Amino acid sequence: MNAGRDSFLQYLQYEKRFSNHTLLAYSTDLSQFYSYLQLTYEIKELAEISHTVVRSWIVSMMEQKISPRSVNRKITTLKTFYKFLLRQNLVTENPMLKIQSPKTSKRLPVFVEKQKMDVLLDNVDFGEDEEGVRNKLIIELFYATGMRLSELINLRQQNVDLAACQLKVLGKRNKERIIPFGHELKRKIEEYLKTKEAADSEYLLTGKSGKKMYEKLVYRVVNKYLSVVTTTDKKSPHVLRHTFATHMLNNGADLNAIKELLGHANLSATQVYTHNTVEKLKNIHKQAHPKA
């Protein structure tokens, strides 16, 4: 069984070019599934796994109060895994064909209202030293470009074209994309570069050591400053990505353009932001219509 799993993970890494984060998720899901098979059924061969065995694992996870969203991700992992096994002739039947995913409630993307972002960027004091200027630039970059956390951390100075007001990021599956930005962000980047001690660093954003920033530090910075203007439970870099997309859509941006800017593989991932717009319209209608 391990040979099938190892081949599958190598396929995801080298042919599908999945990110390390995604690879870890797939690997963890399969390890948990394999552990369940061995402990509960003493199964050691792929051919022994039936749809009833898979269902029992799903029931086991639900009994452990694992969220339907997490269970569905693990089911997706197994579906992808079995498609690979069938193509490689490592199994002859697909037990996942009889598996249904648990229903999940749709969660709207959490975002920060425009007025609160204006307060954060115009009125909050970040400080004028290198760290303060850098921290404000972190917020500005997320909000102005919608980039992911990994893309921001790995953003190299050579990939920031100040003359053209655009930057190049390396997204999921190692796909590069160009993101334009405005003159205001250009000024913020130039201001930071003037205060930056590690001027020769290959990365745009650096810590005190001059090395590129790490995820927890960026999380702390974003959480600290979003806490000043919002009480929402989630205060992560991804919230700023959601904020970018929602504000773009509310101001008339084309959904396909937002899809390209975010680096989504398909439009369905971007369409989730239309729900926020619908909710906004409902609230406006409720407040404004005399019969609402």
Q: Is 51 one of the annotated active-site residues of the chain?
A: no
Q: Which residues are paired to 206 by β-bridges? A: 212
Give yes or no: 183 in active site: no
Q: Which of 17, 115, 105 is nearest to 69 (CA)?
A: 105
Given the residues 148, 186, 196, 247, the one annotated as active site: 148
Question: Is 172 an annotated catalytic residue?
Answer: yes
List the catalytic residue out of 74, 136, 212, 241. Answer: 241
Distance CA 259, CA 21 (A): 21
Q: Residues 51, 156, 177, 238: which is the catalytic one? A: 238
Q: Identify the DSSP state of 85.
A: H
The residue among 30, 54, 93, 108 whose CA lies nearest residue 271 is 108
Q: Is 54 in contact with 60 (CB distance < 8 Å)?
A: no
Q: Which of 172, 234, 275, 280 is catalytic?
A: 172
- Whether 87 is a known active-site residue: answer no
Q: For this structure, is 264 an active site residue?
A: yes
Told to judge if 98 belongs to the known catalytic residues of this protein, a careful annotator would answer no
The answer to whether the CB of 155 falls within 8 A of the CB of 142 is: no
Q: Are 205 and 138 in contact (CB under 8 A)?
A: yes
Q: Which of 143, 192, 203, 273 is catalytic?
A: 273
Contact 62, 71 (CB under 8 A): yes
Task: Please spell the DSSP secondary structure of 206-246, one letter per residue.
Answer: B-TTSSBP-HHHHHHHHHHHHHHH---S--SHHHHHHHHHH
Show which residues are catalytic. Answer: 148, 172, 238, 241, 264, 273
